[in-house]
Amino acid sequence: MWLPIQINEQSAEPLYFQIEVQLRALIVSGQLSEGTLLPSIRELAQMLKCSVITVRRVYQDLESEGLLRTRQGTGTYVARVEQREMDRHRLEAVIEAIEGAVAAGKLVQCSKEELADLFREALDKHYGV
């Protein structure tokens, strides 16, 4: 199974963290539904060109958050996610993305006002004025 996870090698964010954020988003957004069998650790590592140590860490973290469960011998599945959990996680991913956008703006020395304008423009573009 292919997962839409993108890795940014230039980022200072550790690899496991990048993968964790995206996999969590896929689960809480419902793109991966309850009971979906995820790739084996070695398979996902191969897909993302990272080590099994990183993938194991991601699976373990998400399992302890209750988003995944592992059945001995059969593999790792998407667990049942409560609606309340989903709402909380849902925003987490969005906040993360906005923070990323602000960081990108700061890198090219945007002022606060400039960024606010850009954000408003993007809102208008997608939601209508």
The Cα-based distances of 19 to 22, 42, 54, 119 in angstroms read 5, 15, 9, 26
Residue 33, phi then psi, degrees to nearest 5? -90, 165
Structure tokens at 72: 């001995």
CB nearer another protein, residue 41 or residue 81: 41
Does the protein bind another protein through residue 75 (CB under 8 A)? no
x-or-dash string of contact with another protein, 2-31, rule CB under 8 A: -------xx-xxxxx---------------
For the chain, count helices (H), then strands (E).
5, 2
x-or-dash string of contact with another protein, 95-124, rule CB under 8 A: ------------------------------
Structure tokens at 99: 């923070």
Q: How far is the CB of 99 from another protein (least distance, A)?
A: 15
- Contact positions toward another protein, by CB under 8 A? 9-10, 12-16, 40-43, 45-46, 49-54
